[in-house]
């Protein structure tokens, strides 16, 4: 029985969103007790300059105050907290973590990109039965994007790229809606920046692709709630998406204005600004890899952290 295992809390301090997952792990499965994600946007205004702004700092403290209350409410026995791209690259990141330790007692570990990639793969691993052949796993964050090429429980290759949606917005000036020329500039950038990914794909010819949570949750929600598409469930925590559905979603997002995105049923408020850049990247990568089995996994870093709790 999983409820005989201790109740654990994982806190993932992402660049766009802070996540809290309270749950248990045992018998090679994850039991979620409670989840909360809050739109902190800690990278806003300073991500490409390498610092956390005062406004972002205060939003983070407010979110963590709520998390601390939930941890107490659910009588959590152990807490594992991690900071990713925006925090590990910020010149004032250590001062930020020190204040969190003093205020809340959360000892937050800064995890490097390669470790983040491993944990994302582990999270996806527990969301559905992976194929016996190679599969790409991709996670689009606000600060970084992780690519992992794996085969069942083995990682063949992994790399974290500092090209998350918040960085892309800061680097490129998008119109509303984004223009074809701006999309072309983005795709040229992706083609060059992700050269190592294309090289690995040339070696391994993986047909399977899994996107982890975040933007891929939005893909699923928009398809079902705004575009009236039906997705094939392959497990409780993952659905298969067709290439035509990815194209339909991409066109819908890329042709939208911010006002139109505000009215989409499947798009959370905190992703309204980020989703265009994330969609451009998602669409380009899936096409460029030639993926023909596309999975939207509900699991990502936080589930990988929960499954690795005793190893970190």
- Domain 2-110 and domain 128-301, same fold? Reply is yes
Residue 242: Cβ within 10 Å count: 15
| Interatomic CA distance for residues 138 and 10, integer angstroms | 21
Q: If you average pLDDT over residues 268-280, what whole number do you get?
A: 95
Termini Cα distance of the chain: 24
Instruction: Note the CATH architecture for domain 128-301.
Output: 2-Layer Sandwich (3.30)
**pLDDT tens sequence across 23-48:** 999 878 899 999 999 999 888 887 77
| Extents of the domains making up the chain | 2-110, 128-301
- The two tokens of residue 137 are 């796993």
**Residue 99: pLDDT above 80?**
yes
Q: If you average pLDDT over residues 198-224, what whole number do you get?
A: 97
Q: If you average pLDDT over residues 80-100, what whole number do you get?
A: 89
pTM of the model: 0.94
| Interatomic CA distance for residues 277 and 297, integer angstroms | 20
Please give the DSSP secondary-structure letter assigned to residue 4.
G
| Interatomic CA distance for residues 308 and 145, integer angstroms | 21
Q: If you average pLDDT over residues 262-266, what whole number do you get?
A: 97
Give the model's confidence band at 85: pLDDT under 50 very low, under 70 low, under 90 confident, else very high. confident
Q: Among 3.90.650.10, 3.30.420.40, 3.30.920.30, 3.30.1330.20, what is the CATH number of 2-110?
A: 3.30.420.40
Residue 3: Cβ within 10 Å count: 9
pLDDT at 2: 67
At CA 190, angle to CA 121 and CA 40, rounded to 5? 60
**pLDDT tens sequence across 156-187:** 999 999 999 989 998 998 999 999 999 999 99
Angle between helical axes of 243-254 and 215-225 (0-180°, round to 10): 90
């Amino acid at each position: 029985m999983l409820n005989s295992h201790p109740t654990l809390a994982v806190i993932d301090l992402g660049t766009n969103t802070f996540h809290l997952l309270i749950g248990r792990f045992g018998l090679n499965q994850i039991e979620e007790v409670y989840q909360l994600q809050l739109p902190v946007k800690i990278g806003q205004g300073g991500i490409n300059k390498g610092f956390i702004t005062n406004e972002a700092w205060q939003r983070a403290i407010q979110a963590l105050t709520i998390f601390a209350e939930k941890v107490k409410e659910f009588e959590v026995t152990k807490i594992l907290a991690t900071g990713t791209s925006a925090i590990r690259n910020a010149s004032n990141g250590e001062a930020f973590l020190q204040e969190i330790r003093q205020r809340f007692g959360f000892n937050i570990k800064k995890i490097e990109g390669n470790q983040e990639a491993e944990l994302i793969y582990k999270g996806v691993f527990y969301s559905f039965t992976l194929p016996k052949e190679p599969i790409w796993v991709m996670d689009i964050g606000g600060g970084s994007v992780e690519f992992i090429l794996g085969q069942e429980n083995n990682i063949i290759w992994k790399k974290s790229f500092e090209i998350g949606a918040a960085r892309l917005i800061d680097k490129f000036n998008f119109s509303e809606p984004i223009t074809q020329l701006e999309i072309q500039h983005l795709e040229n950038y992706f083609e060059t920046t992700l050269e190592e990914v294309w090289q690995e794909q040339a070696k391994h010819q993986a047909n399977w692709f899994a996107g982890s949570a975040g933007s891929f949750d939005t893909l699923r929600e928009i398809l079902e709630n705004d575009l009236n598409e039906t997705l094939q469930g392959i497990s409780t925590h993952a659905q298969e998406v067709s290439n035509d559905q990815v194209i339909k979603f991409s066109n819908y997002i890329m042709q939208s204005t911010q006002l139109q995105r505000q009215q989409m049923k499947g798009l959370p408020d905190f992703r309204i600004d980020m989703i265009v850049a994330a969609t451009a990247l998602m669409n380009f990568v899936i096409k460029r890899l030639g993926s023909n089995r596309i999975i939207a996994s509900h699991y990502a870093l936080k589930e990988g952290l929960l499954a690795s709790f005793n190893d970190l």
